Structure 1
Amino acid sequence: MASTTPPSDSVPRSSRLVIALRVGAWAAITGSHLLATTRRRLTRRPHHEPSLTVLLTRLGPTFVKGGQLLSTRTDVLSERRCEQLRHLHDRVAPMSAHAARTALALAYPGGGPFARIADEPAGSGSIASVYQAWLPDGTPVAVKVRRPGIGPQMRTDFELLGAGARLAQRLPGLHRVPMRRLVRHVSAAVLQQLDLTQEATALAALRRNLAGVSSIRIPAPLPELSRDGVLVMEWIPGLRRFRPGDLTREQRREIVRQVLQGVYRMLFIDGLVHCDMHPGNLYLSDTDVVLLDAGFVVQLTPQVRRLFAEFFLNMSLGRGEKAADVVLRSAEQVPADCDLAAFRSDVRELVESTHRRTAGQFRLGPFATRLFDLQRRSGIVAAPEFVFPLMSLLVLEGMINEFDVDVDFQGEAIPTLLTVLR
């Protein structure tokens, strides 16, 4: 499970050349893409340019992860772009058969516990590929194999992002924004996905926490069969893509409520939050919602969990004044010259304007953007830890809007919130 303890943001001397090469590659790819687009528009000639998914894949797993998160945000990108990015969920090009064999041989030098492993992966992501395997007694299992050499590459990417954040904070108007700490907190959580032992622990914890939520299923880890770089799990048969087109309206509505019930329990009761609930990690098995991949899981501190619950409850009930008070209490910094009356008035207007709106009428992304803008203009610095519960909801919101635009996204949380905050 990921913690919210940030790593050091220093760039080792040995990494500087690698970072420079990565920067050059990024500039070359994106620059050539922009140049080709501009030339095509000027000349009006057809041109076959690399797709967005190809560009992100060339940049590496860190950028693939960002593309996966963005794929649910049709309010940020066009539907065409989001559809392109959805190919990154579990259809990323798998590692070569040689790389998979090498990884398994390193994990099981004396030979693995499997009677047979499928040649082709059942799914492939930016960090690992998952294969079906069979134990000697015929029991099918899922075997998640980490891509060789991916750790240094992702750490280099985040060193680059950290360096960019340090530069950005020197710009006028951004010096109060904790961009460095934000990048450090997010990078610490994302890099935890490299540790498959921690993912096994997170899977077991989520299974315990959500055992009382009907129709949500999480595969059981098999730690006795797992090794460093390899996670063995229960194989759940009959999984199908999490798409609304194959379901009736009532089925879609019930699925959304089940998922929301589970997410609100994570956020407000247990504090163990799955931040990566995109369509590549959500499947259907009969009437169950199956949640796969517990790599990007964060444990919130009790203080962050309670403050986020207080804000969400006041937002859901349309109590803008109290929501503003929570923002001020949770802030990392409030300047002495801040116009508190004006800030409270602006937050009250924002909350009241979105009160009791359905998922189709309410967008958390624009709401959060406006709230952060109000904080920035008032010089109020938000604590970076709140990015994780917000990220969880932002990723999930895309699926909810696709399945049931009439669900009361805020109202569904109120029973859980009242139980927690009573």
Structure 2
Amino acid sequence: MRLWGITPAGSRCHTARDTLSSSASASPAPLDFLSQLLTQLGLASLASALLHEALLAARATYLVLLFLPALLTAPLAGLLGPDGRERWLSLVQWTLEHAGPAFIKWGQWASTRADLFPEDLCARLERLQTSAPGHSAAYTLAAVERAFGCPISELFEDFEEEPLASGSIAQVHRAALSDRGAALVGCGAVAGGRVAVKVRHPGVSELMHRDFVLMQRGAALASRLPGLAALRLEESIRQFGGPLQEQLDLAVEASHLSRFNDNFRAWGNVRFPVPLYPLVGSDVLVESYEEGDLISRYVRSPHRHNTMLAQTGVDVFLSMMLRDNFIHADLHPGNIVVKPPEPPSPLLARAAAWLPARVASWLLDRQPQVVLLDTGMIVTLSEADRNALLGFFRAVTRMDGRWLASEILNMSVDGCKDAEAFAAELHGVFATMDREYMRLHSQDVIRDVIDRMRRHGVTLRSSVSTVVVTSLVLEGWSSRLDPELRVLERMRGMLGGEGWGERVGAGVDRLLGAGALMEA
């Protein structure tokens, strides 16, 4: 069964939370009257500003009441022992779930920022990946017809109103193209061919923008409260808001899909959904339907293809980072599907019967494909950050703490109050460590480095931190597929020694060669 990399929607097509959010963003009748009066008096800009602030005030009132319990109990969270801390973390999770899409999205993002937040809070916020409300089928149908300017029955001969999945920004429906829909799409599409239709939630762009303004103001106030100042909420909100607008536009996601498909066109065992132009817009995106199993199924159960899947995942990440500088920033197992291989043709099967057993086995043993979903969040690095990031990984593989500290500070937002103490501490991390421990426990070592960064007040720029965290997420599931495989070990041959730029190029050429051979 094909699963999407966002929350299964089940029967939650419309929730009380939708009602709360819509009511908070609705314009009260008195405000409409005041706005019209000021407009008639030639004060349209003042009317717009007043209306904006009034809507912010209405939404802020709701959010203050919602967040108040978590804020007031924050100073006590660390004083009540592990059980009290756990209850407070549960309250934070519940609060974000009920605050709306911007706060869910922020919680998902914050769960990856161990350099900003304590590890237990990050672990709790990871659960927000499975908490997102859906919207009604009626809205979906109207949105699709509005986006493409024709009745839905003209584009699709079948459209499943029950969503396959729902995320914080959009939800996904399965459909089958009609004759007209297939003709519009072209590229070999046929009537009855299954597609995925991604529809943005109603009002999510306006609500997220409004909530982002409130999050900035709220973080500034919360940072003055005992127990919250150390969380650096203002910095986290600032970094979070940067790429947010891009993720809200499904047409941008479609362009990402096109670029990824072009970057990996030579890789026969790697693919991305294909956006089906012209059925692409800011609110609705129609793309190829990719059927398969989440890679977590292979992580849980031994399979003969596990080593290949782990190797492919690592090679894809390294190619994105070292060759393309266009990195899928959300490579958790929920966004990776394994598509079973197509069975060999009858003609090939008959021909293989006449070949030696080993040759026939090689010929008939098709490899599954790895399909990467949800490309709304990508990272591209500046030249300086890219060089510093490669230096970061090179320093880690060389186990050089002082060099590592220097590269970290090159990628940081505000540097460090005591750079020498920070460098000395990282030097101490590696001073007594042997290479075998580093190979087997590289995730723990990097997490220890990130924890020390947080204690020294060192904050990485958002794009760089995202790549580091993505490498940790990738190593987490790939090493469970193949315990002998390590991302950093794989990098060491490329980044170690002199002339490391040439080594990177040679390594990427090898990756590309492997992809081309697999396709052939």
TM-score range, shorter chain: 0.7 to 0.9
Deviates more, 1:175-184 or 1:301-310: 175-184
**Aligned counterpart, 1:128:** 170
- Contact kept, 8 Å, 2:310 with 2:479, in 1: the verdict is no
Work out whether residues 199 and 285 of structure 2, in 8 Å CA contact, stay in contact via their aligned partners in 1.
Answer: yes
In structure 2, the CA distance between the partners of 1:342 and 1:126, relative to structure 1 (3 Å rule), is closer
Q: Percent identity?
A: 27
Q: CA RMSD in A?
A: 4.1
* SS, match of residue 276 in structure 2: coil
More helix by share: 2
Question: Given the alignment, which residue of 492, 496, 506 partners 1:414?
Answer: 492
Q: What are the superposed Cα offsets for residues 369-390 of structure 1, whole Å, 9 maximum, x if unpaired?
A: 213434x2xxx66544423323
Residues 1:16 and 2:70 aligned together: no
Deviation at 1:31, TM superposition (A): 7.6
Q: Is the 8 A contact 2:276 2:288 kept in 1?
A: yes
- Paired residue for 1:348? 427
What residue in structure 2 maps to residue 27 of structure 1?
Answer: 67
Q: Is the 8 A contact 1:72 1:397 kept in 2?
A: no
After superposition, the C-alpha distances for 1:263-314 in whole angstroms (9 at most, x for unaligned) are 1222233221222222321221122221111111122222211211111111
Question: CA 1:80–1:282 in 2, change beyond 3 Å: closer, same or farther?
Answer: same
Is 1:370–2:413 an aligned residue pair? no
SS in 1 for 2:370: strand
TM-score calculated relative to the size of structure 2:
0.64
| Residues 58 and 78 of structure 1, relative CA distance in 2, 3 Å threshold | closer
Q: Partner of 2:18 in structure 1? A: none
* Aligned residue number for residue 96 of structure 1: 136
Indicate how the Cα distance of structure 1 residues 242 and 381 shifts in structure 2: closer, same or farther if over 3 A, else same: closer
- Distance in 2, matches of 1:106 and 1:349, equals 61
Residue correspondence of structure 1 range 267-346 to structure 2 within 5 A: 267-286=321-340, 287-334=368-415, 340-346=419-425
* Equivalent residue, structure 1, for 2:11: none
Q: In 2 relative to 1, CA 414–167 (structure 1 residues): closer, same or farther, beyond 3 Å?
A: farther
Q: Deviations over 1:1-28 (max 9, x none)?
A: xxxxxxxxx9963453144134224326
The answer for the alignment partner of 1:390 in structure 2 is 468
| AA in 1 matched with 2:467 | P
Q: Is the 8 A contact 1:273 1:300 kept in 2?
A: no
Give the TM-score normalised by structure 1: 0.77
Partners of 2:174 and 2:197 within 8 A in 1: yes
Partner SS, residue 231 of structure 1:
strand
**Hey, what does 1:4 align to over in structure 2?**
none
The 3-state SS of whatever aligns with 2:171 is strand
* Residues 21-420 of structure 1 aligned to structure 2 (within 5 Å): 21-27=61-67, 30=70, 55-66=95-106, 68=108, 76-77=119-120, 85=128, 87-88=130-131, 92-112=132-152, 113-136=155-178, 137-167=191-221, 180=234, 182-213=236-267, 215-240=269-294, 242-244=296-298, 247-248=301-302, 251-286=305-340, 287-334=368-415, 340-351=419-430, 353=433, 357-358=438-439, 362-363=443-444, 364-374=446-456, 376=457, 382-400=460-478, 402-404=480-482, 406-417=484-495, 418=500, 419-420=503-504
Cα distance change, pair 151–82 in 1 and its aligned pair in 2 (3 A): closer
Task: Say which SS state the counterpart of residue 161 (structure 2) adopts.
Answer: coil
Count of aligned pairs: 391
Q: Deviations over 1:64-99 (max 9, x none)?
A: 3355567899994499968955534xxx44321122
Shift of 1:317: 1.9
* Residue type of the alignment partner of 1:365: R
Q: CA deviation at 1:203?
A: 0.9
**3-state SS in 1 of match to 2:277:** coil
Secondary structure in 1 matching 2:337: strand
CA–CA separation in structure 2 for the residues paired with 1:83 and 1:185:
18
- Partners of 1:87 and 1:321 lie apart in 2 by 40
Letter in 2 for 1:304: D
For 1:355 and 1:70, how far apart are their aligned partners in 2? 31
Task: Give a deviation string over 1:357-408, Cα, whole Å, max 9, x none.
Answer: 246563343431213434x2xxx66544423323433444543465455532
Residues of 2 paired with 1:83 and 1:298: CA distance? Answer: 20
Contact 2:197 2:286 (8 Å CA) reproduced: yes
Of the structure 1 ranges 66-75 and 201-210, higher mean CA displacement relative to structure 2 is found in 66-75
CA distance in 2, matches of 1:186, 1:97: 31
Match of 1:293, SS state, is coil
Q: Deviations over 1:198-231 (max 9, x none)?
A: 1011111122223345522211112312223001
Contact 2:475 2:486 survives alignment (8 Å): no
Instruction: Give the Cα–Cα distance (whole angstroms) in 1 for the partners of residues 98 and 388 of structure 2.
Output: 40
In structure 1, the gaps of 5 or more residues are: 1-9, 42-49
Which deviates the most, 199-208 or 354-363? 354-363
In the alignment, is the contact (CA less than 8 A) between 2:195 and 2:286 conserved in 1?
yes
**CA shift in 2, pair 1:385/1:278, >3 Å:** closer
CA separation of 1:253 and 1:181: change in aligned 2, threshold 3 A: same
Distance 1:27 1:324, change over 3 A: closer
Structure having the higher Rg: 2
Alignment CA distance shift 1:78-1:239 (3 Å): same
